[in-house]
Amino acid sequence: MAEAQGVLVLGDSAENELSSVSRELLAAGRRLADDLGEELAIGLLGDTLDQPSQQAISHGADKVYAVNHPALAEYQVDLYLAAMESLAKDVSPRVILIGRTNEGRELAPRLAFRLRVGLAQDCLEVSVDSASGTLFANRPVYGGNAVAVVSCNYTPQVAAIRPKVYEPMEPDDSRQGQVVSFPVELDSAQARSKVVDVVAEESEGIKLEEARIVVSGGRGLGGPEPFQDLEQLAKALGGAVGASRAAVDSGWVPSSYQVGLTGKTITPEVYITVAISGASQHMAGCSGAKVIVAINKDAEANIFKEARYGVVGDWQEIVPAFTEAVRELVQD
């Protein structure tokens, strides 16, 4: 077998659009490929891949492996894994990048184990040593209290990249690339688990992940009702509402509100925390916010070490007056 070469991104698309995570992975992969002086390829799985393939090229890919199969139209973990395994073995890349999305959380470890190689999980930054081709990854550990630098000892070196850390490249429609179709043989009997129902509990209005301003509430709110005050504030700001795990675990809001290590990663312009202490596991989901604003009655709370602006006091007094003032300001 030829020596492993190049960088392979495992991407995805939805509604005929290359996903934003795939664009981020291409930006990360482009740098690695340039440092190695090797090719950047992307594998796309699905049943309508023409437009996403072109988008991948304008976002930095030299080559697209279009893994077209009707069984891949909907995500099913066993079938996706089988397709990815066969692509990875055939392409034999030096590095594989996957997004640490909801799907990537199960695909990346299973793929790495199937290939009997290592996985750098939940990476904030990846780089290569161009001489040895070794991949180095920075990744938060211990709930974000520490950062580990890890390297992978076997090829392909697999890294799962945390979403919203890498900025996609400006699309350039004049970029040239090659689209090749990669046939896979899949049998629906390979699908061992099956989805029997999908239940959405998303809040109304602007999506948490997409909002420019997010207001999050924590345990210090004391119950579910105060979240209505936060909804009012978010509405005045044109933003969305999130929560700490303590608020979710208390049953005050659904888990889709949770921001943090095991919740959503968000990168709003302004992130306003109300009665949240700022535990590292919470900050893991919002440290990419441009400006953090903290409202907390405890001047010693960790959140004030992370915030740009803070108010020390009781949210019950602060939030209504703040909301009222925001309404007035936004009106003029």
Partner 1 sequence: MPVNIAVLAKQVVDPEMPMAAFRIDADAKAVVPPPNIPPVVNGFDENAVEAALQIKDSQEAAITVISTGTSFALDVMKKPLSMGADELVLLQDDAFQNSIDSFFTAQLLAAAIRKLGGFDLIICGRQASDWDNAQVPLGVAEILGLSCVSLGKKVEVTDGHVTVERVTPDGYEVIEAPLPALVTVSNELGQPRYPTLRGIMAATRKRPTIWSSEDLEIDTAQLQPRVTLQDLFVPVRDQQCEIIEGEDDADAGRQLALKLREAKLI
Ligand X SMILES: Cc1cc2nc3c(=O)[nH]c(=O)nc-3n(C[C@H](O)[C@H](O)[C@H](O)COP(=O)(O)OP(=O)(O)OC[C@H]3O[C@@H](n4cnc5c(N)ncnc54)[C@H](O)[C@@H]3O)c2cc1C
- The verdict on 294 binding partner 1 (CB under 8 A) reads yes
Give the range of 86-94, 177-185, 221-229, 259-267 binding partner 1 by CB under 8 A.
Answer: 259-267
User: Which residue, 2 or 321, is less far from ligand X as judged by CB?
Assistant: 321
Nearest 5°: phi and psi at 126? -125, 145
Strand pairing of 240-243 and 270-274? Answer: unpaired
User: What contacts 24+ positions apart, CB below 8 Å, involve 15-22?
Assistant: 16/48, 16/51, 16/52, 17/51, 17/52, 17/55, 18/44, 18/51, 18/52, 18/55, 18/56, 18/59, 19/99, 20/163, 20/168, 21/99, 21/101, 21/104, 21/163, 22/52, 22/56, 22/59, 22/99
Closer CB to partner 1, 27 or 119, in the complex:
119
Q: Name the nearest CA neighbour of 218 among 242, 243, 239.
A: 243
Among 109, 143, 144, 171, binds ligand X (CB under 6 A): 143
Counting other chains too, the contacts that 108-115 makes at CB distance below 8 Å and 24 or more residues apart are 108/158, 108/160, 110/77, 110/81, 111/10, 111/81, 111/84, 111/85, 111/158, 112/158, 114/81, 114/85, 115/85, 115/88, 115/89, 115/156, 115/158
Considering only residues 204 to 233 of the shown chain, the ones binding ligand X according to CB under 6 A are: 218-220
| 236, 276, 289, 292: residue in contact with ligand X (rule CB under 6 A) | 276
Q: Which of residues 287-306 bind ligand X (CB under 6 A)?
A: 296-298, 301
Contacts with partner 1 by CB under 8 A: the residue count is 89
* Span 42-81, contacts to partner 1 by CB under 8 A: 77-78
Residues 6+ apart with CB under 8 A from 148: 138, 139, 140, 141
- What binding mask, one character per residue, do residues 9-38 give for ligand X by CB under 6 A, x or -? ------------------------------
Per CB under 8 A, does 330 bind partner 1?
yes
Work out what residue 77 binds among partner 1, ligand X, none; the CB cut-off runs from 5 to 8 Å by kind: partner 1
Cis, bond preceding 156 (omega within 30 deg of 0): yes
- Candidate list 16, 102, 181, 188; residue touching partner 1; CB under 8 A: 102
Q: Which 264-293 residues touch partner 1, going by CB under 8 A?
A: 264, 269-270, 279-281, 291-293
Between 46 and 260, whose beta carbon lies closer to ligand X?
260
Per CB under 8 A, the list member of 145, 178, 181, 188 interacting with partner 1 is 145
Binding to partner 1 (CB under 8 A) within 175-204 occurs at 192-202
Q: How far is the CB of 175 from partner 1 (least distance, A)?
A: 31
Q: 131, exposed or middle or buried, with CB in 10 Å at 0-12, 13-18, 19+?
A: exposed
Within 210-229, the residues that bind partner 1 by CB under 8 A are 213
Nearer to ligand X, 55 or 296 (CB): 296
244 binds, among partner 1, ligand X, none (CB under 5 to 8 A by kind): ligand X
Of the residues 14, 73, 146, 180, which one makes contact with partner 1 according to CB under 8 A: 146
247 lines the binding site for ligand X (CB under 6 A)? yes
Which 144-183 positions form the footprint of ligand X (CB under 6 A)? none
**Of all helices (H) and strands (E), which one includes residue 181?**
strand 178-181
In terms of Cβ atoms closer than 10 Å to its own Cβ (0-12, 13-18, 19+), residue 6 is buried
Q: Where on the chain is the footprint of ligand X (CB under 6 A)?
A: 143, 218-220, 244-247, 258-263, 275-277, 279, 281-282, 285, 296-298, 301, 314-316
